[in-house]
Amino acid sequence: MVFLPEAYDYIGSSISETFAQAECVEKGDLMVKLCGLASENKVWLSLGGAHEKIDRKSDSEERERIGNAHILIDDNGVIKEKYRKIHLFDAPVVGLKESNWTLAGEKLSEIIPSPVGNLALSICYDLRFPHLSHEYRRRGANVLTFPSAFTVPTGKAHWHTLLRARAIETQCFVVAAAQCGKHNEKRSSFGHSLVVDPWGEVILVTVSFINITQSIMTAEINSVIEINQIEDMEENIGVGYCELDLEKINKVRTSMPVMDHFKYDIYQ
């Protein structure tokens, strides 16, 4: 299975550029190509965040806005699920207001059984809302996904901690493909695509692999590195590879059955 980050299609340098390139998820040219690639190569795809052109008739709001949609494609090239980002990143700390151009989603993703586990779809800023992750766990997820385009200052401060916390609390694998580098004069992303196991251990983090001009298909497979080494590393576009040992989930959950210990009667 291949996981791509939020905004895997493009990152616009202005709202008008972002609108101009948005495509309808089900019928867009890019999506047709990606479904073809999934079936030809027999891989599942997690497309972490498409700029989704929304049919105005189904949008009750007056302003033009797009969806931020995480799409899951199976190895037959069939779209299995589409999740629209629920929590929009309106954050004065970095001067971004996603709700200016995005319409928030209103429902959770289904839990989708896949060859790498029972997947739950989220996007980026959703990571900061533990109730969402907890609800996915309660509904049977064992792999949470947080494709992201985290900003550099908030990424430095919180990215690793939040991802590990969600993994530890829910006892799920957490897979987080992340944008990295400078997109335009105004935007850069923190990077550090991460996979965390249900015990909270980081089992994959991407660092510098390939030159941006090389094909991703020829990228070298990464080796796992220690978190305390990361600060000094440059990150380019690249790929990381790891295996999810689903047995770990059972081990962690039986050895510490936190789900049985919630006291909803006391704190709802």
Q: Which residues bind ligand KGT (CB under 6 A)?
A: 6-7, 11, 89, 96, 98, 124-125, 128, 149-151, 154
Closest separation between CB of residue 192 and ligand KGT, Å? 12
The catalytically annotated residue of 6, 52, 81, 235 is 6
Taking the least distance from each CB to ligand KGT, the nearer of 52 and 81 is 52
Taking the least distance from each CB to ligand KGT, the nearer of 124 and 252 is 124
State whether residue 120 is helix, strand or coil: strand
Closest separation between CB of residue 94 and ligand KGT, Å? 7
Closest separation between CB of residue 98 and ligand KGT, Å? 4
Taking the least distance from each CB to ligand KGT, the nearer of 178 and 244 is 178
Taking the least distance from each CB to ligand KGT, the nearer of 86 and 249 is 86
Closest separation between CB of residue 171 and ligand KGT, Å? 23
Active site residue 53: no
What H or E segment, with its residue span, contains residue 67? strand 67-73
Query: Closest Cα partner for 258 from 163, 171, 186, 140?
Result: 171
Sequence-separated contacts (24+) of 125-130 with Cβ below 8 Å: 125/85, 125/87, 125/88, 125/89, 125/91, 125/98, 126/85, 126/86, 126/87, 127/162, 127/163, 127/166, 127/176, 128/87, 128/158, 128/162, 129/87, 130/165, 130/166, 130/169
The catalytically annotated residue of 35, 52, 82, 85 is 85
Q: Which residue is nearest to ligand KGT (CB)?
A: 154
Active site residue 234: no
Active site residue 107: no
Residue pair 89/7 in contact (Cβ under 8 Å)? The answer is no
Active-site positions read 6, 85, 124
